Chains A and B, each alone.
Chain A
Amino acid sequence: MARLIKSSLLAASLALAGSAAYAADAAPSAGVDWNALIIFAIFVLLTLGITYWAAQRTRTAKDFYAAGGGITGFQNGLAIAGDYMSAASFLGISALVYSSGYYGLIYSIGFLVGWPIIMFLMAEPLRNLGRYTFADVASYRLQATPIRAMAATGTLVTVAFYLIAQMVGAGQLIELLFGLPYLVAVVLVGVLMVIYVTFGGMIATTWVQIIKATLLLIGATLMAILVLNAFDFDFNALLVKAIEVHPLHAKIMLPGAAVANPISAISLGMALMFGTAGLPHILMRFFTVGNAKEARKSVFWATTFIGYFYILTFIIGFGAIVMVGPDAIYHIGGDIAKGLLGGGNMPAIHLAHAVGGDLMKGFIAAVAFATILAVVSGLTLSGASAVSHDLYASVFRHGRVDEAAEVRASRITTVVLGIVAIVLGVLFEKINVAFMVGLAFAVAASANFPVLLLSMLWKGLTTRGAFVGGFAGLICAVVLTIFSPGIWVAVLGLSKDGAWFPYTSPAIFSMPLAFLCCWFFSITDKSAAASRERAAFDAQYVRSQTGIGAEKAAAH
């Protein structure tokens, strides 16, 4: 059992973090990779140019938070895919396939299947009811102060965990790829993201995301084609060779030990699937399109790009097994037994070199860094919106605040979040970032998702139910994760006996608890306010279904 937990932690960390193993098995810096640095510099210049252009167009709060509502479904689909295809997906899943084979595909599928659910149940009502943040939707007919406070807490907790993971990952990736010191790397990421978000708001963040998603899709496609080309486009031949050269041989076709425990498998599946539907930076993207029809198209394109991308990572992982695994030049000291240069998450980068030389490696490395930068920008904007739009404007000022002041609060928050992110990135340099991402998904699935879904679909939900349910899910997810071996033993360094929660993810307990509390504390709520809230559901439902009265796209 202990071994099972250990291997499941290891596997989860690889899959979720992309950079989890850096701290443990980082190789000494390999010196500056000029190809990567130049390509990345071009990306930064281009995106700063876009930020300047976006800043000219960012006049109102709607421009700042929702790109004026003028993004098309296709563009938004790409931007969502960009938010979702983090370095964790690209480096982490290909690394997981490289080390364990088939197991990587289980993660890919879990990350993808949340999207159809978002489409069928949430995308259109979300667009029709919301303005800037998902708290707009959750508090549509409920009391603004408690519900926004709850939603903002859920947002900030999710964003913080995700942000730590990305900052630490970024620092380690840059340290390894470009030969820059960790601190310099983290500060660089923090400063760039603050510039994008404060000046360019959602318009700049969206276009940075679109460019990065396009680059990542092109890069991954090229690599997959080059891998398949080496086998005359015979996928079977690639698999046969992979089974032959991988140390585990035919076992790489098995699901792997980490999901051998059914509760862990199902719990992880729930966190991945429903967490997607509760990630605040993803939900926010639905308000950047003009109407429900474009929201629908966004999900279709996002699902298509993400699905395609995961198929590529599978091919890339198997390609790395064959082309990187047995090749001594990619291993520490030229010795295969000593592990990969740069750590366990580097197979995709080495594979780029194997199939396309230094230039390809530079390109893929630059794309990986651009990916992290774009994802942290989206996260920061989402966190800043929760603070300025939900906490500052609604909870503290009760809506008595003008737009300009609200946007100013958002910009100040962005700078603060940038500093916080840098500090956290430095403080948590050695942390297992996998659990941060896992926790982010679990919190999103347990706090944000149940309240959001019920507020849109269930007439009976009251403020009391949503407040208690949301916090119950949030607290339960965080507490169970702290007492799991991944945090208790691996991060806090405490004795194994204290880690009484043995599963990979808390979602199987925390998510149903949230739904149960929402339900119970709503039906037992006999207050006059509660009956007004139930009565207000009909008008909300009509708007959510027809879009009558919904936010329009800004004209410009």
Chain B
Amino acid sequence: MDEQTVKRIQSDPNYVKLVAERKSFGWTLSIITLVIYYGYIALVAFAPGVIATPVAGAITVGIVVGAAIIVASIVLTGIYVVRANAHYDELTKAIVNASAAGGK
């Protein structure tokens, strides 16, 4: 990719939008994941009693939270895919097309 193409793509409003949106969305989801996980690790390290507290019958807080983190990991990656498929791919396509047209 030559410098001119890079400059042209960088000034494409779709590119600016794609980069800004994906960056903030990706980091937001990453931070959510980190907070969930290290919150859990903190619970394990500092308040193990809470983990063993029963919620219903023998099912404990720890089991519910653990299962919830597994489900949340799947759901968060799913949310990212859905948004990327619907939104980012469209922007990317527009950028690629504009770049191909501008280059010729």
**A-B complex: 5 closest residue pairs judged by Cβ atoms:** A239-B58, A262-B45, A236-B57, A253-B52, A265-B45
If the complex has contacts A109-B69, A296-B84, are A538 and B33 also in contact, measured as CB distance less than 8 A? Answer: no
If the complex has contacts A102-B51, A109-B37, are A542 and B29 also in contact, measured as CB distance less than 8 A? Answer: no
**Number of B residues, CB within 8 Å of A:** 55
User: How far in angstroms is the closest Cβ of chain A from B62?
Assistant: 5
Interface flags, B4-30, vs A, CB<8A=1, else 0: 001001100001001100100111011
Tell me which of A43-51, A112-120, A365-373, A391-399 binds B.
A112-120
6 contacts between A and B (CB under 8 A): A102-B51, A120-B26, A253-B60, A259-B45, A300-B78, A542-B1
Asked if A357 is an interface residue, CB under 8 A from chain B, the answer is no
- Whether B3 and A243, one on each chain, are in contact in the complex, defined by CB atoms closer than 8 angstroms, is no
Cα of A119 to Cα of B99 in the assembled complex, Å = 27
B residues 50-79 touching A (CB-CB < 8 Å)? 51-52, 56-60, 62-63, 66-67, 69-71, 73-74, 76-78
Inter-chain contacts of A254 with B (CB < 8 A): 48-49, 51-52
Asked if A198 is an interface residue, CB under 8 A from chain B, the answer is no
> Of A115, A119, A243, A260, which is within 8 A of B45 by CB?
A260
User: How far in angstroms is the closest Cβ of chain B from A296?
Assistant: 5
Cα of A102 to Cα of B45 in the assembled complex, Å = 14
- Whether A120 and B45, one on each chain, are in contact in the complex, defined by CB atoms closer than 8 angstroms, is no
- Whether A311 and B67, one on each chain, are in contact in the complex, defined by CB atoms closer than 8 angstroms, is yes
Inter-chain contacts of B3 with A (CB < 8 A): 539
If the complex has contacts A113-B37, A121-B30, are A310 and B62 also in contact, measured as CB distance less than 8 A? Answer: no
Closest to B61 in A: A253
- Whether A543 and B1, one on each chain, are in contact in the complex, defined by CB atoms closer than 8 angstroms, is yes
Cα of A464 to Cα of B57 in the assembled complex, Å = 58
> Of B57, B78, B95, which is within 8 A of A239 by CB?
B57
A-B contact count (CB 8 A): 162
Of B70, B77, B78, B80, which is in contact with the most chain A CB atoms at under 10 Å from its CB? Answer: B77
If the complex has contacts A545-B19, A546-B9, are A117 and B1 also in contact, measured as CB distance less than 8 A? Answer: no
Asked if A146 is an interface residue, CB under 8 A from chain B, the answer is no
User: How far in angstroms is the closest Cβ of chain B from A54?
Assistant: 29
Cα of A374 to Cα of B96 in the assembled complex, Å = 38
User: How far in angstroms is the closest Cβ of chain B from A121?
Assistant: 6
User: How far in angstroms is the closest Cβ of chain A from B82?
Assistant: 9
User: How far in angstroms is the closest Cβ of chain B from A183?
Assistant: 40
> Of B34, B45, B49, B81, which is within 8 A of A296 by CB?
B81
User: How far in angstroms is the closest Cβ of chain B from A218?
Assistant: 20
Cα of A235 to Cα of B66 in the assembled complex, Å = 15
